[in-house]
Chain A
Amino acid sequence: MSTVSSTDTVKGAYGGDGGALFGLAMKTGFLTLITLGIYRFWAKTRIRRYMWSATAPGGAPFEYTGTGLEKFLGFLVAIVVLALYLGVLQLLLFFVGLNIFAGGTDPQAVLRQLAATYITLFAVLPLVFFAQYRSRRYLLSRTRWRGIRFGAETGAVGYMLRALGYTLLTIISLGLLAPLAAFKLEKYMVDRTWYGDIKFAQDGKWTMLYGSMKHIFIGLGLVIGGAAIGGFSDIPALAILGGVVGTFWLYFGIFYFQVDGFRRMANHKKVGDVIGFDTKPKVWTVIGHVLLGSLAAGAAAFAVILVAGLVGGSIIGFSSFDMMMNPDGLANQQPDMASAALGGLIFFLGYILAIIVAGALILVMVNQPIIAHYVTSTTILNASRLDTVRQRGDDEMVDAEGFADALDVGGGF
């Protein structure tokens, strides 16, 4: 009936091209700049449209149907709600903080009163979780594959409460229950996700994520163990060695958790009870893209700023030279001011250009290759079940992704 092979699988494929995406990112970046940031909703939408349609399992491209306009209007709704909520709550928290913590002149008292100022941060945290769920729901509702919409049930408040609870649990357990938190929160979201009329389900056990976190624990163990042994045996070199090796190990561990955690979770996902996934992303491929891309973006930004600095600086320098040659020129003050302004402007534009170029390079050299790697290393199992999946209703969201945009939750695209 369809193009599914005899083994009944669909292989992930990604067709995005670095040059095309770079051009799109630069173009939308400039439009964002000259509209003082308003175009960013449309920019994000266009980048997503590109990346979604580049993702084409079995040759059938995904489609992103979100619009910049609905994102913009959703943002307007969200900022008014957030300003009201945050303004009042921050005031109340600060007021309570002042009444509890204020007073005293010793350094501890000063610190306590400063802490009262930071209490206000707790007003934002619940909203971040709320926004994460809403944002994911919006993205799914605007994603289609083979003509069929994805979707998620409402549940942002439930997610927020659970996320707060599990975060607290993770802190109390000194991170030992982090796998439980990660698993349960992912499961909460996946179990409410739909593709057409069939539902996703997250199987597996939370303890399986300990395997994904092993390198984080090893890194932490090296740092703490090195400090302890170095401290006891009076050999500070041991503590330093443990600290350095442990820190690098910890960084590796974080990447390893992201990649291996994704693998384990994905391989235990089911859609409509039968469709499954087989995914084999490689952690070193991901790390390679992150290192290389960050390096390239940093170097490019540096080069742009350097050129702008040289050009801007020489314009300022030239006019001073000019003035030295004609000491009694009539307009000896005016042209200097003008060229100083021009030189400054060139430098400022160079700084902006550097930010846009760096952002575009990160997108093209880090984000896109990593997504491509995840997609191409994933195979959909029992794919023939897809043929009978039926369409689901449209999910209207007045706030679109506004809360996530306002709070800057989520990734770069």
Chain B
Amino acid sequence: MTSPQSTLPVFGGRYFDGQTAGERDVEVSLDKPGGWLIIRRDQSSGASIPQENWDLDDMRVVRDHGHEEGEVFRLTGKDEARLFVPNQVDADALRDACQYLRKADVPAGTLSKVFFWTGGAVAAMLLILFVLLPNLADTMATLIPAKREEAIGETVVAQIEQTMKFANSGQFCSTSEAEAAIAKMSDRLTDELDLPYPLKIRIMKTEMINAFAAPGGHIVFFSGLIDKADTPEEVAGVLAHEIAHVVARDPLRIALRAAGSAGILSMVLGDFAGGTLVLIMAEQVMQASYTREAEAQADEFALRLLKDAGLPAEAFAAFFDKLREEYGDTDGAMEYLSSHPNLASRAAAARAAETQPDAFEPVLSETEWAALQSVCKSSGR
């Protein structure tokens, strides 16, 4: 406050007033007992700011600095002036005199603002990913005409055929007897069903135990599934499940959902060390939540079809047991990563349904079943 006394340490600094870019050499004296830093214009230069007093408690330092020597000081709040003390010894002396140099001046209410914005963003993201986009995708799926969807499915199946085709597998096998057997099976299941397009069921030669539905009523069985089945009713159970996907237009809906949400999660998580792993898991959880719901609904619908056709769910359950033996099950936390529900629970649900507890009329005769099972063996293609 008073003019600097000769006992106070005095050193040189470079002062920027925050109003113009002009640099002023200043003489700085540290009045430690009084709690002030007194900044005075160098005698040699002209005068516009004769003297300025900075409260030591209000002084802050620019952190994480990368210059070799010195420190840049400022005042808390909106003040835009900067004092650069180039000499490290002087700067250190000044550092020792100020106690709140590294204090972060966070305005009141910042914490609640952060919570509010974070909560809002999370809620909005969940709404977009799990409500808005799935519903929009489902609506768009209904806007695609049946003929167009059949053509899309045709191409999807051709694409899978091209990627699967190597050595002695990936080809479609067909005999007139097997076609007739499949037709008999699907007729019995779809007897009372009103489908937007006819089913187009084919068998692909590969060891895998699986089947899939593509958009537009295309269903493909892998021959491994038919080989490993003990009864035709097991195949009928799987067929009922795939028909359920066709009725719900699941393949198209899920493709649209995936296209809509593509890249959004990677945007949220960003790339940091180990982030790729987190991203893959998060992406998997999100996609799985889409498909698991569809799979569970397809199982439910399949059991209704079996009931209407007078076929036992026990064979369907036996098929899940077989899958579990062959590939193992997904349990605990892993289940959230899986595109399908847990196999044991699917089998249990099928058994609980008891669609035809008594005797039933077999879905295929012995000879028809034999013809279906040998479809990929004799001809080869």
Q: A residues within 8 Å of B by Cβ?
A: 1-3, 15-17, 20-21, 24, 29, 32-33, 36-37, 40, 46-47, 49-56, 59-61, 63, 69, 72-73, 76-77, 79-80, 82-84, 86-88, 90-91, 93-95, 98-99, 102-107, 109-110, 113-114, 117, 120, 124, 144-148, 195-196, 351-352, 355-356, 359, 386-391, 405-408
Contacts and interface: CB of A to CB of B under 8 A. Distances in A.
B256 interface: yes
A352 B272 CA distance: 10
A91 B260 contact: yes
B66 interface: yes
Contact of B159 (A87, A94, A110, A355): A110
Contacts of B68: 15, 17
A104 B154 contact: yes
Contacts of A390: 19-21
10 contacts: A49-B63, A54-B66, A63-B82, A82-B267, A83-B267, A90-B263, A103-B154, A104-B155, A120-B259, A196-B21
B72 A61 contact: yes
Interface residues of B, number: 74
B22 A79 contact: no
B66 A87 contact: no
A408 B62 contact: no
B96 interface: no
A94 B260 contact: yes
B259 A17 contact: no
Contact of A83 (B128, B136, B154, B269): B128
A83 B14 contact: no
Nearest to A359: B273
B151 A103 contact: yes
A54 B62 CA distance: 12
A83 B23 contact: no
B129 A83 contact: yes
Contact of B117 (A29, A73, A113): A73
Given A20-B66, A51-B66, A110-B155, A91 B137 contact: yes
Contacts of A1: 22, 45-46
Contacts of A82: 264, 267
Contacts, number: 234
A389 B62 contact: no
Nearest to A145: B21
Interface stretch (B118-126, B174-182, B284-292, B327-335): B118-126
A90 B262 contact: yes
Nearest to A383: B21
B271 A50 contact: no
Contacts of B259: 90-91, 93-94, 117, 120
A49 B64 contact: yes
Contacts of B267: 79, 82-83, 86, 406-408
A147 B154 contact: no
A147 B45 contact: no
B273 A32 contact: yes
B357 interface: no
B110 interface: yes
B356 interface: no
A392 to B, nearest CB: 11
Interface string B1-26: 00000000000001011111111110
A13 to B, nearest CB: 9
B108 interface: no
B193 interface: no
Contacts of A3: 14, 23, 25
B334 to A, nearest CB: 16
Given A147-B17, A196-B21, A91 B256 contact: yes
A16 B66 contact: yes
Contacts of A51: 66
Nearest to B154: A105
B155 A105 contact: yes
Interface in B35-90: 45-46, 62-69, 72, 80-82, 84, 86
B143 interface: yes
Given A1-B45, A196-B21, A86 B263 contact: yes
Contact of B121 (A80, A91, A109, A355): A80
